[in-house]
Amino acid sequence: MSLQEQAATVAPAVSASPPVLASIAVARPVRGEFTYSVPESLASQLAPGQRVLVPFGRGTALGFYLGPAARPPGENVRLKPIQRVLEDSPSLPKDLIALLRFAAEHYRYPLGEVIRGSLPPGLSKPVDEKEAKPDVQHFAVALVNEVPPSLARAHAQSAALAYLLAVGGSAPLEEVSHAIPGARAHLKSLASKGLVRVEEKKLEAGVKEGLIQGRPDRLTPEQDVAGGTLREALDTGAFQPFLLHGVTGSGKTEVYLRAAEHALSLGKGSLILVPEIALTPQLVGRFRSRFGSEVAVLHSALKDRERLFHWQALRKGEVKIAVGVRSAVFAPVENLGLIVVDEEHDPSFKQDDSLRYQARDLAVVRGKQAGAVVVLGSATPALETLENVKKGRYRLLELKRRVDDRPMPTIEMVDLRQERPRDGMMTDEAPILSPPLLAAMEQTLGKGQQVILFLNRRGHSTVLLCEVCGVSLKCTSCDVCMTHHRSQNRVVCHYCGLAMPVPDRCLECTGPMLKLGIGTERVEAEVLERIPTARVARLDRDSATSAEKLTEMLAAFARRELDVLVGTQMVAKGHDFPGVTLVCVVMADTSLAIPDFRAAERTFHLLTQVAGRAGRGKDPGRVLVQTYNPDAEPVKRVLAHDFDGFAQQELEWRKALAYPPFARMASIRLEGEHPEQTASVARHLGNIISRNMPPASVGVRLLGPAVAPIAKIRGKTRWQLLLKGPTHVALAPLLARVEAALVDVPSAVKVVIDVDPGAML
Complex with Zn ion: residue 214 or 497, whichever CB lies closer? 497
597 counts as binding Zn ion under rule CB under 5 A: no
Look at residues 272, 315, 311, 316 and name the one whose alpha carbon lies nearest to residue 291: 272
496 binds, among ligand ADP, Zn ion, none (CB under 5 to 8 A by kind): Zn ion
Instruction: Draw the binding track, 560-589, toward ligand ADP (x: CB under 6 A; -: no contact).
Output: --------------x-x-------------
- What does the alpha-carbon distance between residue 21 and residue 263 come to, in Å, rounded to a whole number? 38
478 counts as binding Zn ion under rule CB under 5 A: yes
Shortest spacing between CB 400 and ligand ADP, in angstroms? 11
Instruction: Tell which one of 110, 227, 249, 332 touches ligand ADP (CB under 6 A).
Output: 249
85 binds, among Zn ion, ligand ADP, none (CB under 5 to 8 A by kind): none
Complex with Zn ion: residue 493 or 554, whichever CB lies closer? 493
475 counts as binding Zn ion under rule CB under 5 A: yes
Residue 659: CA count within 13 A, CB half-sphere? 16
Look at residues 11, 13, 14, 37 and name the one whose alpha carbon lies nearest to residue 24: 37
Complex with Zn ion: residue 710 or 736, whichever CB lies closer? 710
Complex with ligand ADP: residue 380 or 520, whichever CB lies closer? 380
- What does the alpha-carbon distance between residue 685 and residue 706 come to, in Å, rounded to a whole number? 12
Instruction: Find the helix or strand (DSSP H, E) in which 282 lies.
Output: helix 281-291
- What does the alpha-carbon distance between residue 614 and residue 527 come to, in Å, rounded to a whole number? 19
Instruction: Please classify residue 145 by burial: count the beta carbons closer than 10 Å to its beta carbon, then call 0-12 exposed, 13-18 middle and 19+ buried.
Output: exposed
Look at residues 581, 609, 599, 602 and name the one whose alpha carbon lies nearest to residue 279: 609
Cβ distance 302 to 310 under 8 Å? yes
Shortest spacing between CB 256 and Zn ion, in angstroms? 41
Burial 279-316 (b: 16+ CB within 10 A, else e): bbbbbbbbbbbbbbbbbbbbbeebeeebbbbbbbbbbe
Instruction: Draw the binding track, 79-118, toward ligand ADP (x: CB under 6 A; -: no contact).
Output: ----------------------------------------
Complex with Zn ion: residue 42 or 491, whichever CB lies closer? 491
- What does the alpha-carbon distance between residue 684 and residue 23 come to, in Å, rounded to a whole number? 36
Instruction: Tell which one of 186, 252, 350, 360 touches ligand ADP (CB under 6 A).
Output: 252
Shortest spacing between CB 94 and Zn ion, in angstroms? 46
Complex with Zn ion: residue 223 or 483, whichever CB lies closer? 483
Residue 549: φ, ψ to 5°: -65, -40
Instruction: Tell which one of 495, 597, 628, 662 touches Zn ion (CB under 5 A).
Output: 495
Q: Which stretch binds ligand ADP (CB under 6 A): 130-138, 218-226, 384-392, 743-751?
A: 218-226
Complex with ligand ADP: residue 108 or 252, whichever CB lies closer? 252
Look at residues 654, 655, 656, 638 and name the one whose alpha carbon lies nearest to residue 646: 638
Look at residues 517, 543, 537, 540 and name the one whose alpha carbon lies nearest to residue 525: 537
Complex with Zn ion: residue 30 or 498, whichever CB lies closer? 498
216 binds, among ligand ADP, Zn ion, none (CB under 5 to 8 A by kind): ligand ADP
Burial 98-117 (b: 16+ CB within 10 A, else e): bbbbbbbbbbbbbbbbbbbb
475 binds, among ligand ADP, Zn ion, none (CB under 5 to 8 A by kind): Zn ion
Please list every residue from 10 through 39 that binds ligand ADP, using CB under 6 A.
none
> 174-179 long-range contacts, Cβ below 8 Å, gap at least 24?
174/137, 174/302, 174/303, 174/305, 174/306, 174/309, 175/297, 175/299, 175/306, 176/140, 178/299, 178/301, 178/302, 178/303, 178/306, 178/547, 179/278, 179/299, 179/547, 179/548, 179/551
Instruction: Tell which one of 112, 172, 251, 332 touches ligand ADP (CB under 6 A).
Output: 251
Instruction: Please classify residue 377 by burial: count the beta carbons closer than 10 Å to its beta carbon, then call 0-12 exposed, 13-18 middle and 19+ buried.
Output: buried
Query: For residue 186, is it left (φ>0), alpha (ψ between -120 and 50) or beta?
Result: alpha
Alpha helices in 622-663 (DSSP H): 633-639, 643-656
223 counts as binding ligand ADP under rule CB under 6 A: yes
253 counts as binding ligand ADP under rule CB under 6 A: yes
576 binds, among Zn ion, ligand ADP, none (CB under 5 to 8 A by kind): ligand ADP
318 binds, among ligand ADP, Zn ion, none (CB under 5 to 8 A by kind): none
496 is in an annotated binding site: yes
Instruction: Find the helix or strand (DSSP H, E) in which 42 lies.
Output: helix 40-43
Complex with ligand ADP: residue 121 or 617, whichever CB lies closer? 617
Number of residues that bind ligand ADP (CB under 6 A): 16
722 binds, among ligand ADP, Zn ion, none (CB under 5 to 8 A by kind): none
Type of residue at 407: P
216 counts as binding ligand ADP under rule CB under 6 A: yes
478 binds, among ligand ADP, Zn ion, none (CB under 5 to 8 A by kind): Zn ion
509 is in an annotated binding site: yes
496 counts as binding Zn ion under rule CB under 5 A: yes
> Any idea how long the chain is?
761
Beta pairing, strands 580-585 & 622-627: parallel
Count each helix (H run) and each strand (E run) in the chain, helices first.
Answer: 22, 30
Cβ distance 679 to 711 under 8 Å? no
Instruction: Find the helix or strand (DSSP H, E) in which 85 lies.
Output: strand 84-85
- What does the alpha-carbon distance between residue 94 and residue 369 come to, in Å, rounded to a whole number? 9
Instruction: Tell which one of 92, 263, 277, 493 touches Zn ion (CB under 5 A).
Output: 493
481 is in an annotated binding site: no
Complex with ligand ADP: residue 40 or 404, whichever CB lies closer? 404
Q: What DSSP designation does 472 have?
A: B
Shortest spacing between CB 306 and ligand ADP, in angstroms? 27
Look at residues 687, 682, 692 and name the one whose alpha carbon lies nearest to residue 730: 692
322 binds, among Zn ion, ligand ADP, none (CB under 5 to 8 A by kind): none
Please list every residue from 153 through 212 that binds ligand ADP, using CB under 6 A.
none
Instruction: Tell which one of 118, 137, 177, 220 touches ligand ADP (CB under 6 A).
Output: 220
227 counts as binding ligand ADP under rule CB under 6 A: no
Q: What DSSP designation does 750 have?
A: E
DSSP helix, strand, coil percent of the chain (3-state; round to 5)? 35, 25, 40
Instruction: Draw the binding track, 403-422, toward ligand ADP (x: CB under 6 A; -: no contact).
Output: x-------------------
Complex with Zn ion: residue 361 or 542, whichever CB lies closer? 542
Complex with ligand ADP: residue 223 or 629, whichever CB lies closer? 223
Q: Which stretch binds Zn ion (CB under 5 A): 87-95, 444-452, 468-476, 677-685?
A: 468-476
Please list every residue from 364 through 383 that binds ligand ADP, using CB under 6 A.
none
Complex with Zn ion: residue 325 or 480, whichever CB lies closer? 480
248 binds, among Zn ion, ligand ADP, none (CB under 5 to 8 A by kind): ligand ADP
Sign of CA dihedral 18, 22, 25, 31: negative
250 counts as binding ligand ADP under rule CB under 6 A: yes
* 3-state class (DSSP) for residue 339: strand
506 is in an annotated binding site: yes
469 is in an annotated binding site: yes
466 is in an annotated binding site: yes
| Annotated binding-site ranges | 466, 469, 475, 478, 493, 496, 506, 509
| Annotated binding-site ranges for Zn(2+) | 466, 469, 475, 478, 493, 496, 506, 509
Residues of the shown chain interacting with Zn ion in the complex, contacts defined by CB under 5 A: 475, 477-478, 493, 495-496, 498
Residues of the shown chain interacting with ligand ADP in the complex, contacts defined by CB under 6 A: 216, 218-220, 223, 246, 248-254, 403, 574, 576
